[in-house]
Structure 1
């Protein structure tokens, strides 16, 4: 895809985004009425985590692993006294392994954030107050829809470098008997986590499956509230040589979509298969960080 074609697509999606330049971005489509309707998706009461375990081991896709250590008690436990076990964790929120949510201030493009907010707002020493993850402090609760693209093609996963097209999303939707609608939390499975579990980690920064930039038209037409994937959502190598992360630019910067990266659907997908339905109540609760570009996250699907 040429830089000129990408620029045209960017302007098209920016001008038609349901959130416009509203501070909440596409979350404006997830109204209280839609949240109430999503609660009716709960039938069996089964809940499933959509997060990958926090990874503390270095690897080809994890140059900055999370650090987790026990800080107390020191030495052997006191058999006669009271003690508290304590620990500390530190992590790169936007790494290539751990599940996280991107705030609307995460993507700087053309010197601005979503809605034309000056990038200086995110680069200040105190962090980003504008468009930070604090916009989602009350949680994102709505109807989740899982589209399983490898299932559509009869394979366990898409190979790194493969693109998911708008046609793939529509075909998966039709095959699974579900329709993505306004205010939905759209989750797209490419099989990244299953491939990693079975074949081992690889340098996913250089090669991974994801959405083709033109697939974002599907999301714009359906007016979804949030996009999540079991990879980075962006394909590598990029379909646009001049833009390293075109899906992030289109989704976050142009459309105002919060992105969920590196989720895992390997428990959810077979459960949906068994129950014969691919929609559910989805609950996303970021940490309360007043000025942050994202947050670790453990989304829940409740069927």
Structure 2
């Protein structure tokens, strides 16, 4: 799907999708739905949906995470007595390689944040509103994986390709699953597999993602969280005047927390073998009270 979206069309789509709830789309993730999600567990198998943190620079990761050993290592170990191995990690949370969660303060659009919150709440000391602290108790619910390359009969979507609402519905039908209120929706485009096979590329300039119109599917189904193995947006953008239309619609209009650059290659074989594409999912961001996002390791429990 390669359709473009005009500026006026995008504004109208934004208007239709806009919601103003204090907790955003997580309001759909009620305690009753969390309890129901626990019934998805049958085998007890646990699968990570995160990619290993990258510490080497590449075309999609010019500022990789920095990992330094600060304690006991070979060459400076004590001859006797006690010592500790220690380390320090620093990273760019919103890069194009590492798995991360976008908080509701991440997207600034027309001078505001989600819900009309003034963007001046973003300070050099951190975000004073809508930070990742909103999800300090974690996100737990029913995860649903829609595998678009599987639907198309290809290993991955090529950079620049878009996934529309119709394909999401078609993937549901083929996979025998239905996305419902409070679900954590994961859309596989095959970004990680393509990267593993061909090596990293400049994903900021070229990547597969969702068409902005696909967000109407999420609104209709009252999804609580959206995640992908890309960053959910297509590059280059085909929306006039907006470089990240899905981010604007999801985070700024709908109050959806996004999970970017996950990896589903470990999960897909299990789902295919068991013939089911839903599972309990546990997402636990770091306690970073004023941050715009967090590295994250979502766990699927089948």
- Give the structure-2-normalised TM-score: 0.97
CA distance in 1, matches of 2:274, 2:77: 47
Deviation at 1:125, TM superposition (A): 2.5
Alignment of 1:1-303 (within 5 A): 1-14=5-18, 20-73=19-72, 75-122=75-122, 124-303=123-302
* Structure 1 segments unaligned to the other structure (5+ residues): 15-19
CA distance in 2, matches of 1:105, 1:170: 30
Deviation at 1:76, TM superposition (A): 3.3
CA distance in 2, matches of 1:144, 1:263: 13
CA distance in 1, matches of 2:32, 2:128: 28
Alignment deviations for residues 149-181 of structure 1 (CA, whole Å, 9 cap, x no partner): 000011000000000000110000000000000
Q: What secondary structure, in the 3-state scheme, does the structure 1 residue paired with 2:174 have?
A: helix
- Give the structure-1-normalised TM-score: 0.97
Deviation at 1:72, TM superposition (A): 1.1
* Structure 2 segments unaligned to the other structure (5+ residues): none
Deviation at 1:134, TM superposition (A): 0.2
Deviation at 1:85, TM superposition (A): 0.4
Q: What secondary structure, in the 3-state scheme, does the structure 2 residue paired with 1:146 have?
A: strand
Deviation at 1:198, TM superposition (A): 0.4
Deviation at 1:80, TM superposition (A): 1.6
CA distance in 1, matches of 2:240, 2:11: 13
CA distance in 2, matches of 1:3, 1:125: 32
Alignment deviations for residues 184-216 of structure 1 (CA, whole Å, 9 cap, x no partner): 000000000000000000111111000000000
Alignment deviations for residues 40-61 of structure 1 (CA, whole Å, 9 cap, x no partner): 0000000000000000010100
CA distance in 2, matches of 1:195, 1:113: 34
CA distance in 2, matches of 1:129, 1:32: 27
Moved over 6 A (4+): none
Q: What secondary structure, in the 3-state scheme, does the structure 1 residue paired with 2:40 have?
A: coil
